[in-house]
Structure 1
Amino acid sequence: MSKSKLSDSVVDKLSFHGNKNLFAAYKEKLKAHLKAMSDALVVTELQAKRRRPVARYEDALVQEPVLEEPGPGASVEDQEYYALQVAFANNQQSHIKNLFNLTLPSGFVDDKLMQKPVHKIWRAIEKLYGLNTASRVVELAVDSA
């Protein structure tokens, strides 16, 4: 997604310049933006008489989406629904990575890091900016299990 698809005001409102004291505010604004994106996608899909998306934008910060692949003999409708869910999940990853590129301090996100899933990039961001909360400790414990 190019910057032209994200309004300058959204990028400006979400921009984070590296001040660790302002990271919590950045995180909350980012999550609110991602939630709004998820809610808008649900509305779009329901208005088009399709099933709601499985993956939500904000969930990508925690883990990769779990999409249940249709088994052999699945209906064409179920196969198309799965393909659409995969496309949604890929679009969400791309959108969030683009947001990181546009809103984080220049030079933070390198090409090697950008090849990783969003939740791993987000962990690196939290680590760099010193997020140390109980929820992060729980995430680490779950990941190591």
Structure 2
Amino acid sequence: MANNYTIVRGRQLTIRRELDRRGISLKVIAYDAGIPYPTLLSYFPGEGEPATISGAALYSLCGVLPADLLSLLLPDGFQVVRAPEDVDHDQLAEAMAEYLTAKQHAHHPDSPDGREISEGEDEELCTRLASVRAVA
């Protein structure tokens, strides 16, 4: 069974591959995070075993690396999520109520697929969920 260091180092390599796939430059990340490029490269090498990333480096990468990639460094079930700074709670409540109303209608026995969610209802729910995310 792999220990935590092995798991995290494997995920660091996964992050590097994903950075390359997305075209995100390590030099830009190093500059924006204030981490020396050689140090960042040691955390996310193209090959070989990465150095264990420090808590200070992780802190510096917040807001620089995409949250979904930072989340890979955490145990399964945990995520890095940026808290919204300005929330219009009334607008958010309205969007959530519209989503919940559509969800209840989709599960009504008289809906197109009965209690199951039909394809059209799924599309509507996804659209309404996008509205919730947009104002959250």
TM over 0.5: no
Highest RCO, 1 vs 2 (Cα 8 Å, sep ≥ 6): 1
Q: TM-score, normalised by structure 2?
A: 0.27
Q: Which structure would you say has the larger Rg?
A: 2
* Structure number having the greater helix percentage: 1
